[in-house]
């Protein structure tokens, strides 16, 4: 009974817990290299339905731990009752956990002729499912496994080829190999157990791959191997720390504007561009003439370009109004040069999907109404080159950021309002993803956040300067421009396509052998008493 409990429930819970500890704010990133081992051991020789349940349990623990901040956003700022907020978080975590469940269920169906897990298949399958999670139903690629390694710069440099998914692949490969070696050890410790062969080919190839990735990382991090930067740009970031509950209070509008002016004055003398966060203006910049002119006059007096977020209202063809989450670039002479409208909106934050059914969630939509997406990514002509801008949630989508750089962005700016998250792990998780966007495309990032974390990240992923959470701050930093175009920028998620193809090929082979069909019929084939004559299939 105890043994059954450990294998059925405890090991998946341990995996989920180790995954949580791998991410911010715990940041025990080394645990990610073994976090899946308990789950992989638990699903060994299990029917697919059992493996599905075990995978879902591990995923639920993982995503409840990493998405618990949803409760704070829903309850404190959305005014949703605490029990309902908790239920919404559970629903989101349960949905994300389905991808871990599918990983476990499909993996047991793709075991080799001995009933042993295939490390390469496990890694490819995991990446394929992570990519699907980032695209289905508008996508939610939060807490991808690779993000746990944002501090391990020598490991993550390969992301300029594979994207963050390559790091996830390497992590799962190591986890699966450790689990496989645990099977080898167990077969030699327990009496009567059928000896499991050491997968020497897999061990050698995986070790060589890991060595290559780390060696490539050190090579990329060596300044001698990076192209000389053409020039640099000094950017000032303003973090006003405006309370979310007071942000749209008309009575506090003057106080908010004056706070921005005060903080801007602290950095404006030493920078080429000032950046305010998402939805910085407590008014519609295009619509409210008096405040608009005051801002433009302030910029003219300082003589430095300003990039800031503001809601915008456009007319529709039917005579109605379109609400957009926008950002404006103003020249040092006070001329509005450009406007970018956010493309990828936050479900239940900026719009309510299936609104006729989910009408009770209207309170979550920023107190202004439903936003509509912009027309698409495009770069601005900013100081010292082309500027790419992503707003808040958009930075978690690798391919979206890639499109900006592919269009010619020399440097990236991301503006956000993470006040919704409160003092939770979310601001740290959100910031960690920016590290990968910088490495993937070899472009520096400047990040301005209302309540933090604001800061600078260079093209190799070094976190240069940051602010604390929930403090007023004005931060300046140097952004070096002139990197090389990466394989990831040019070709996008080609690596994930390869992973999907590998998964399908292994599935097709298993189908022909009858193992895949048998697993899903409940006829799980266990390891035979004597080793088969055919060579062990390494993938």
Tell me the pLDDT tens digit for each residue of 394-413: 999 999 999 999 999 999 99
**Active site includes 499?**
no
Q: Which of 210-214, 357-361, 456-460, 530-534 has the lowest mean pLDDT?
A: 530-534
Does the pLDDT value for residue 477 go beyond 80? Answer: yes
Q: Which of 166-170, 185-189, 446-450 has the lowest mean pLDDT?
A: 185-189
What gap in Å lies between CA 179 and CA 213, rounded to an integer? 21
Please spell the DSSP secondary structure of 370-419, one letter per residue.
-----S----EEETTEEEEEEEGGGGG-HHHHHHHHHTT-SEEEEEE-GG
Question: Span 19-37, mean pLDDT?
Answer: 98
Question: What phi and psi, each to the nearest 5 degrees, are found at residue 199?
Answer: -80, 75
Does the pLDDT value for residue 534 go beyond 50? Answer: no
Q: What count of other Cβ atoms lies within 10 Å of the Cβ of residue 294?
A: 12
pLDDT in tens, 150-166: 999 999 999 999 999 99
pLDDT at 193: 64
pLDDT in tens, 86-130: 999 999 999 999 999 999 999 998 876 555 678 999 999 999 999
Confidence of residue 248 (pLDDT cuts 50, 70, 90): confident
What gap in Å lies between CA 311 and CA 295, rounded to an integer? 15
pLDDT in tens, 436-449: 999 999 999 999 99
Better-predicted residue by pLDDT, 87 or 353: 87
pLDDT at 354: 62
Better-predicted residue by pLDDT, 318 or 156: 156
Does the pLDDT value for residue 521 go beyond 60? Answer: no
Better-predicted residue by pLDDT, 380 or 538: 380
pLDDT at 536: 38
The two structure tokens encoding residue 106: 């499909």
Q: Domain locations in the chain?
A: 2-224+491-521, 231-483
Given a contact cutoff of 8 angstroms between Cβ atoms, the answer to whether 446 and 479 are in contact is yes
**Active site includes 342?**
yes
Percent of the chain scoring above 90 in pLDDT: 72
What gap in Å lies between CA 389 and CA 446, rounded to an integer? 10
pLDDT at 533: 36
Q: What topology does CATH give the domain 231-483? A: Nitrilase/N-carbamoyl-D-aminoacid amidohydrolase (3.60.110)
pLDDT in tens, 269-316: 999 999 999 999 999 999 999 999 999 999 999 999 999 999 999 877
Which among 342, 350, 394, 499 is annotated as catalytic?
Answer: 342
Q: What count of other Cβ atoms lies within 10 Å of the Cβ of residue 410?
A: 21
pLDDT at 231: 85
Does the pLDDT value for residue 535 go beyond 50? Answer: no
Which among 392, 394, 460, 499 is annotated as catalytic?
Answer: 392
Contacts of 345 (CB under 8 A, 6+ apart): 325, 351, 371, 372, 373, 393
| DSSP state letter for 474 | E
Does the pLDDT value for residue 32 go beyond 90? Answer: yes
Question: Span 453-472, mean pLDDT?
Answer: 97
What gap in Å lies between CA 508 and CA 534, rounded to an integer? 18
The two structure tokens encoding residue 468: 């604390």
Question: Span 449-461, mean pLDDT?
Answer: 97
The pLDDT mean for the chain works out to: 89
Q: Which of 37-41, 367-371, 502-506 has the lowest mean pLDDT?
A: 367-371
Does the pLDDT value for residue 369 go beyond 60? Answer: no
pLDDT at 3: 65
**Active site includes 392?**
yes
Question: Span 5-27, mean pLDDT?
Answer: 93
What gap in Å lies between CA 472 and CA 240, rounded to an integer? 5
Which among 130, 278, 350, 460 is annotated as catalytic?
Answer: 278
Confidence of residue 509 (pLDDT cuts 50, 70, 90): confident
pLDDT at 415: 98
Q: Is the pTM of this model over 0.85?
A: yes
pLDDT at 539: 43
Contacts of 289 (CB under 8 A, 6+ apart): none
pLDDT at 359: 59
Does the pLDDT value for residue 523 go beyond 50? Answer: no
Does the pLDDT value for residue 525 go beyond 50? Answer: no
């Amino acid at each position: 009974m105890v043994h059954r409990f450990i294998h059925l429930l405890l090991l998946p819970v341990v995996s989920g817990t180790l995954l949580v500890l791998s991410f911010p704010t715990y940041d025990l990133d080394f645990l990610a290299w073994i976090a899946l081992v308990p789950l992989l051991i638990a699903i060994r020789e299990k029917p697919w339905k059992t493996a599905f349940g075990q995978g879902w349990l591990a995923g639920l623990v993982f995503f409840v731990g990493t998405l618990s901040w949803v409760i704070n956003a829903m309850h404190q700022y959305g005014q949703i009752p605490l029990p309902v907020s908790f239920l919404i978080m559970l629903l989101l975590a349960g949905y994300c956990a389905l991808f871990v469940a599918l990983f476990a269920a499909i993996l047991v169906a793709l075991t080799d002729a001995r009933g042993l897990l295939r490390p390469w298949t496990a890694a490819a399958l995991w990446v394929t499912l992570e990519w699907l999670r980032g695209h289905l139903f508008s996508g939610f690629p939060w807490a991808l496994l690779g993000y746990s390694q944002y501090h391990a710069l020598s490991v993550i440099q390969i992301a300029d080829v594979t994207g963050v998914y390559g790091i996830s692949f390497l992590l799962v490969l190591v986890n699966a190999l450790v689990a496989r070696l645990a099977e080898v050890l167990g077969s030699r410790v327990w009496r009567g157990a059928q000896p499991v062969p050491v997968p020497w080919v897999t061990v050698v190839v995986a070790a060589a791959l890991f060595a290559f990735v780390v060696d490539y990382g050190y090579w990329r991090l060596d300044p001698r191997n990076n192209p000389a930067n053409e020039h640099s740009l000094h950017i000032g970031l303003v973090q006003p720390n405006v309370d979310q509950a007071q942000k749209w209070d008309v009575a506090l509008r003057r106080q908010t504007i004056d706070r921005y002016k005060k903080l801007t004055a602290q950095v404006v003398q030493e920078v080429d561009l000032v950046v305010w966060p998402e939805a910085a203006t407590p008014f519609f910049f295009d619509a409210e003439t008096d405040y608009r002119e005051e801002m433009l006059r302030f910029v003219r007096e300082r003589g430095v370009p300003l990039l800031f977020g503001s809601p915008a209202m456009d007319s529709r063809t039917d005579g109605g109004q379109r609400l957009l989450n926008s950002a404006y670039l103003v020249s040092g002479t006070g001329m509005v040069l450009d406007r970018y409208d956010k493309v990828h909106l936050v479900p239940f934050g900026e719009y309510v999907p299936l609104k006729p059914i989910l009408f009770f969630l209207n309170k979550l939509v920023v107190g202004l109404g439903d936003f509509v997406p912009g027309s698409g990514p495009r770069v601005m002509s900013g100081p010292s080159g082309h500027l790419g801008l992503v707003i808040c949630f958009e930075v978690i989508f690798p391919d979206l950021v890639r499109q900006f750089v592919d269009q010619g962005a020399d440097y990236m700016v991301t503006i956000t309002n993470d006040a919704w998250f409160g003092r939770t792990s979310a601001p740290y998780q959100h910031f960690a993803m920016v590290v990968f966007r910088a490495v993937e495309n070899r472009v520096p990032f400047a990040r301005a956040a209302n309540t933090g974390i604001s800061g600078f990240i260079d093209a190799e992923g070094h976190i240069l300067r940051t602010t604390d959470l929930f403090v007023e701050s004005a931060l300046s930093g140097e952004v070096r421009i002139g990197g090389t175009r990466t394989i990831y920028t040019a070709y996008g998620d080609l690596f994930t396509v390869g992973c999907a193809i590998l998964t399908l090929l292994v599935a097709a082979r298993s189908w022909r052998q009858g193992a895949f069909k048998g697993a899903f019929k409940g006829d799980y084939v266990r390891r035979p008493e004597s080793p088969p004559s055919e060579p062990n299939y390494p993938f």
